Structure 1
């Protein structure tokens, strides 16, 4: 499953979810913006940065990292990059925190000594999704993140339970249609080999009503247009290339004349012989 993409969508739509996980969340946590930021003159990009609202009384910035595989260099890279970003933007913030979300404690780097001054402080908080407790005892937002950990055998059941819960519970911070979109997206990534009808039956939803289906449909239309363009180009080459060959033009000259790749011209010649 493309968990990086899933979590980017979750935090982009619901930045306040991060603050359901951390100790001492900011007062205006629901108004933070989740962004991908570039650190100038250092040539790297940070994909998980929560920026405070312009009118916030406390200008605390949160750096987040979601980790689902072992990476011994994680703390060194993550903390170093966070400090470099702060150095480049030091006048904009008055406090900072790092949040590392692990699927399980076993993925934590073994070297916890080098950066112990941060790891042992309140500025770096580590979250282990598989230790947050039973799914039916957690807020909907946390359930959404736990769903990415579910095995194929139980994911469908947990997703259906979460869908029913979303339909029954009132929530001001998490729009129901957005939550259903995320659940559907997770299911589509998780069961990529299933048809739309099979995913619908599994979740008890009509995918045509969800954003993930609409985006996939739009992508399909774009692919269809691209395929149509390629077919028209192939047909044009099939008719034109033999005529240009008779004038004595070389394959390279024909490709340049028609503004296509040499390989396309050669393929057209093979198809005509």
Structure 2
């Protein structure tokens, strides 16, 4: 079944496009256990703000999505979803639908010139590197290799995230880092960095080298959050800790700093996991 065109927001000369990759229940714990300091009154506020985040069985329901920034100077992808059927995010609703969402948005993977990986959790890197059939040099027939799904893109990861890969998931050295290095498509960042449209902002805490992306024009901006926030409760109450944050205090500071707006400013939050891809800052 074809994937319907996904929502988009225009900021200045750039279009930010939400790309669906899947949806399903969070399998590890209840949302109440994931945010143990949240009160019943706060959850009631969340249910009014984002009622689609709980399914019919009362489970925390997640969307999985990436975002494309399409501007006059090229196309940037922020995150790479959960991936194909053989991707490592076996807890998520595989296979993901990102290729179909890209096609619905009129984007060929070869057109993407930059891929920003907000962090190295498996539901954000699934389509970054994929298996392919390659002919061995010995002529013995086909063998499976790994290649970047976006063949002409530079992949941006924070140095701090790269340094923590063995703690986060040591298998990623072979399945992600090595293929990107072999193709000379990996670029390591040290903190904030400009993009062709927007900028990368270091937002550590969820993981050591988590990063987000901001696209701004005048007093209007879009914040592509990665897992800076994973549930609407962190949008309404940014000080609340999430049990799966590696450094909860650092994550809180990153979240509060990036969600802070000045009077008259308009901030759209582009979230990987909330029900709606674009949410105005309340």
Q: Same fold per TM (> 0.5)? A: no
Higher fraction of strand: 2
TM-score for both structures, normalised by structure 2: 0.31
Higher RCO structure (Cα 8 Å, ≥6 apart): 2
Higher fraction of helix: 1
TM-score for both structures, normalised by structure 1: 0.32
